[in-house]
Amino acid sequence: MDCVLRAEQVLLDGHLVPASVGITGGVITFVGAADASHPAAQDIRLPERAVLLPGFVDTHVHVDDPGTDWEGFDTATAAAAAAGITTLVDMPLDCRPVTTSVAALQVKRAAAAGNCHVDVGYWGGVVPGNLDELAALDGAGVRGFKCFLADSGNPDFPHLSTAGFHDAMSRIADLGSVLLVHAESHAVIADSPRPNGWDYRSFLASRPDAAEQDAVGLVIDTARATGARAHIVHVSSAAVLPSLAAAKAEGLAVTAETCPHYLTFDAETIPDGGTEFAVCPPIRAGANRESLWAALADGTLDLVVSDHSPCTPQHKAAGDFGRAFGGISSLQLGPPAVWTQAGRRGVGLPELSRWMSERPAALAGYTDRGRIAVGLRADLCAFDPDAQGTVRAVELRHRHPVSPYDGMSLRGAVLQTWVAGVPALARIGEPV
């Protein structure tokens, strides 16, 4: 074997047990007792405090490369590796060109070539007028597709009308793919007051719960009518949870995610002028946050991903919610942020891994990762669940030091990450 990793705690089949994991050619080829004898080029015993987990999988990342200075493949994937994320899937907008054709996908892949510290996949974009491109994008290897039901903020990536969404879902059904949906209603937002000035309440009022309720209802109705598989991204409003639960009980192919910021922050404590917290859909009240946690626990929500949506500092508009870009830069912080909050609610590492490794991998069609088992890729991370640290935005590996987590104490740290059995970054926390 190339390598054997030994740990007192390894996550196997939902349980933390002492084990050894043998790796050959980037694949897990043996799982056995912690002291089992294995001839290997490297024999590594992890520190007693370390837990060997499957690498995290983040299926909602805006790398914004090529064409902008907001983020890049080098910085994004370094941040991912530092968080124990071994696979990310890049969103199709906020890069130039947007990924709505095979030609644009090839440009993006060229920008990524030689610049990635972890494995990278791609979602294709669905916009008015490009339905005939979807089959070619599917054949070119995108993991699925993404659309908006409200203004995306990018004129090159317009939202779909109700009729256009139905047509897109029909094409997705024919392809046997999945359509990720930014589920906010364009009409509801258009009828809501515009945000302005320093008051976070004006930003919250501009994207009310009703916008998500209306759009999620459309997604569910269209999934029922077409038989297509749909996934609702970044659920922020607890008001949509009964509809999601009913859709699942009905057996519809509808899944949903939420994000670390919705599980961490609450509207009551966001300061005036705190545009680093501006994100679409918005962070809502503390009681709403607790409902999202309950929905993860009961399976109404399926997974947690970052929605890493970076921008340059000036796009946060110096505290003016009427002009600030709505996105949170958090790729490196997702696992510790969720683990910090999970510990306060009695949630363990098996659940964390299910929400942030196994289920995101399944969403994107990666059958070879997300768990530790013989035959799967050796995408792994050594995680210290009890480490405590304070976030310093300037020290993060993201391109720009803008983060609502700045100064926050988080629990959990990654000591090392292995992508297909190879250490990602020479040193992350400390040698193992």
Q: What is the pLDDT at residue 341?
A: 98
3-state SS of the chain?
CCEEEEEEEEEECCEEEEEEEEEECCEEEEEECCCCCCCCCEEEECCCCCEEEECEEEEEECCCCCCCCCCCHHHHHHHHHHCCEEEEEECCCCCCCCCCCHHHHHHHHHHHCCCCCCEEEECEECCCCCHHHHHHHHHCCCCCEEEECCCCCCCCCCCCCHHHHHHHHHHHHHHCCEEEEECCCHHHHHCCCCCCCCCHHHHHHHCCHHHHHHHHHHHHHHHHHHCCEEEECCCCCHHHHHHHHHHHHHCCCEEEEECHHHHHCCHHHCCCCCHHHCCCCCCCCHHHHHHHHHHHHHCCCCEECCCECCCCHHHHHHHCCCCCCCCECCHHHHHHHHHHHHHCCCCCHHHHHHHHHHHHHHHCCCCCCCCCCCCCECCEEEEEEEEEEECCHHHCCCCCCCCCCCCCEEEEEEEEEEECCEECCCCCCCCC
**Closest by Cα among 358, 353, 361, 349 to 411:** 349
- Dist. CA 109–CA 89, nearest whole Å: 12
Mean pLDDT (whole number) for 340-359: 97
Residue 43: exposure state from Cβ atoms within 10 A (0-12, 13-18, ≥19): middle
Q: What angle do CA 199, 203, 208 make, to 5 degrees?
A: 135
The answer to whether the Cα torsion of 219, 224, 230, 232 is positive or negative is positive
427: confidence class by pLDDT, cuts 50, 70, 90 = low
Mean pLDDT (whole number) for 295-303: 98
Q: Record the pTM.
A: 0.97
**Closest by Cα among 169, 108, 162 to 134:** 169
Mean pLDDT (whole number) for 219-239: 98
Is 56-364 CATH 3.20.20.140? yes
- Please state, rounded to an integer, the average pLDDT across all residues of the chain: 96
431: confidence class by pLDDT, cuts 50, 70, 90 = very low
pLDDT, tens only, 199-222: 999 999 999 999 999 999 999 999
Amino acid identity of residue 98, one-letter, is V
Domain boundaries, the chain: 3-51+376-396+411-423, 56-364
pLDDT, tens only, 384-410: 999 999 999 999 999 999 999 999 999
The answer to whether the Cα torsion of 239, 323, 321, 83 is positive or negative is positive
Sheet of strand 85-90: strand arrangement = 56-61, 85-90, 119-122
Neighbours of 44 (CB within 10 A): 17
pLDDT at 432 over 70: no
pLDDT, tens only, 282-295: 999 999 999 999 99
Q: Are 316 and 277 in contact (CB under 8 A)?
A: no
**Closest by Cα among 19, 42, 120, 2 to 372:** 19
Neighbours of 29 (CB within 10 A): 17
Q: Which CATH architecture has domain 3-51+376-396+411-423?
A: Roll (2.30)
Mean pLDDT (whole number) for 372-385: 98
pLDDT, tens only, 18-59: 999 999 999 999 999 999 988 899 999 999 999 999 999 999
Mean pLDDT (whole number) for 323-347: 96
Mean pLDDT (whole number) for 304-309: 98
pLDDT at 426 over 70: no
Neighbours of 79 (CB within 10 A): 28
pLDDT, tens only, 86-137: 999 999 999 999 999 999 999 999 999 999 999 999 999 999 999 999 999 9
Mean pLDDT (whole number) for 255-264: 98
pLDDT at 163 over 70: yes
Mean pLDDT (whole number) for 375-389: 97
Q: Which residues on adjacent β-strands are paired with residue 12?
A: 15
Q: Strand 42-45 relative to strand 51-54: parallel, antiparallel, unpaired? A: unpaired
425: confidence class by pLDDT, cuts 50, 70, 90 = confident
Q: What is the pLDDT at residue 349?
A: 98
pLDDT at 428 over 80: no
In percent, the amount of the chain with pLDDT more than 90 equals 97
- Dist. CA 232–CA 237, nearest whole Å: 12
- The reply to whether domains 3-51+376-396+411-423 and 56-364 share a CATH topology is no
